[in-house]
Chains A and B, each alone.
Chain A
Amino acid sequence: MSNTVCVLPCNGLDKCAGDISRRVALKLTESEGVELICPVLLNQNKTRYDKVLEDGSLSVIDGCNTRCASKLAGSLEIAIKEKVNVSEVAKAQNIKLGVDIRDDEETDALVQVLLEKMSISEEKQADSQFIETETVEYESFSHGKFIFKVPKNNYFFNENDCWVSISGDIARVGVTDYVQQNLSDILYVDPPEIGQEIEQFDELGSIESSKTVFEIISPVSGTVVAVNDKLQDAPELVNESPYEKGWLVELRLSNFEEDKELLLDFEAYFEFLKRKVAETNV
């Protein structure tokens, strides 16, 4: 049998979203190889779960955007393999949850959607179509004890510190060394959905460390064709290799010539970053 899946729901039991998180978690534990993690006990006594967490992977169900469950996992430095957010899924489904606990058709349907969301993410991975260039050359500068690297060719950047690299009509997107160092240990990568159409500067998922969440702002417009699924097991690749192994998303470009007008090349980003680092580190 494969590894255990540990399910960590939120603890907002008195509210509708929290109650739904509980229902989804209980439903999941009906399957074999799924272990329920009680947030209160985890917080009190993490060792109680050390063993299952070591052999298994963690799935988190946040009730609302306070993201208590994710934050708890983050503060205990447990990597999250998969997660859903009840309120966001409800919003996407056009369901208004409100505060009071409800047990009706609408909430049943929502539980169902959430359950589906949690099991499909395994399957539909399209293969990467990007042809990597042999070696990437970098230039770096230092500020205090930090060293920032920027790749020299075939990469473009936006001022939101995301990069894009092009191969034919396929683009790879990721975050720059600056973001990676700012966030420090990245614990979770939340990818966009395959097939999603993206305009330039739209959100392309997010990455999360115990410190904060960073939204990926797409440097280009296009359709999402692949996501880096290695990151689900090894989000630290974004820290170790932000410009190569830690790439996040692949898109089929729709209008790169126009997108390019609002992007920086190596020289411009290098200068931009130097200024930014000098300004922010007081």
Chain B
Amino acid sequence: MSESTFMGVERDRIDWSPRIDFSKCNDCMDCVEFCPHQVFEVNENEKPKLKVKNPNNCVVFCRACGKTCGLDAITFPDKPETTKMIKAIRKAEKEAASDE
């Protein structure tokens, strides 16, 4: 899924993925089990064990794993801001295309 886009915008230009607060996380791995998109990675020998390995695999606007975390260790970027940014990129691209 390297060239994926969301609403016509390249996925890697959209900053949307879970942020882990490791001062709260207790390595229960519920989030890892929950997410089907290979966003997380577990390294048994590192601390923290949990890593957000593929942030761009995260489905834009999904916040589901945050709900599974009983300790509230997962947060997400601001939704309205992200929407605004996607709209701005789309607009800029449209204008650039019509200038040609």
Spell out A's residues near B (CB within 8 Å).
64-66, 87, 159-160, 199-203, 212-215, 217, 261-262, 279
Contacts and interface: CB of A to CB of B under 8 A. Distances in A.
Given A201-B61, A262-B90, 11 more contacts: A65-B68, A66-B30, A159-B7, A160-B60, A199-B79, A201-B83, A213-B64, A213-B68, A215-B67, A262-B83, A262-B87
B68 A201 contact: no
A261 B90 contact: yes
B63 interface: yes
A219 B80 CA distance: 13
B85 to A, nearest CB: 12
30 contacts: A65-B68, A65-B69, A65-B70, A66-B68, A66-B70, A87-B70, A159-B7, A159-B60, A160-B61, A160-B62, A199-B79, A199-B80, A199-B83, A201-B61, A201-B83, A202-B79, A203-B63, A213-B64, A214-B64, A215-B62, A215-B64, A215-B67, A217-B61, A261-B87, A261-B90, A262-B7, A262-B83, A262-B86, A262-B87, A279-B1
Interface string B34-49: 1010000000000000
B27 to A, nearest CB: 15
Interface residues of B, number: 22
Contacts of A279: 1
B59 to A, nearest CB: 7
Contacts of A213: 64, 67-68
A65 to B, nearest CB: 5
Query: Which of B34, B61, B64 has the largest number of chain A CB atoms within 10 A?
Result: B61
A89 to B, nearest CB: 14
Say whether chain A's binding surface is mostly helix, strand, loop, or mixed.
Answer: loop
A202 B61 CA distance: 8
B22 interface: no
A184 to B, nearest CB: 14
Nearest to A64: B70
Interface in B16-39: 30, 34, 36
A261 to B, nearest CB: 7
Contacts, number: 45
A200 B70 contact: no
B62 A217 contact: yes
Contacts of A87: 70
A149 B64 CA distance: 25
Contacts of A201: 61, 79, 83
Nearest to B91: A261
A212 B65 CA distance: 11
B88 to A, nearest CB: 12
Nearest to B83: A201
A279 B62 CA distance: 19
A222 B70 CA distance: 30
Nearest to A213: B64
Contacts of B83: 199-201, 262
Contact of B63 (A64, A200, A212, A215): A215
Contact of A212 (B6, B34, B79, B90): B34
Nearest to B5: A159
A160 B59 contact: yes
In the A-B complex, the 6 residue pairs with the smallest Cβ-Cβ separation, listed nearest first, are: A64-B70, A65-B70, A201-B61, A215-B64, A217-B61, A66-B70
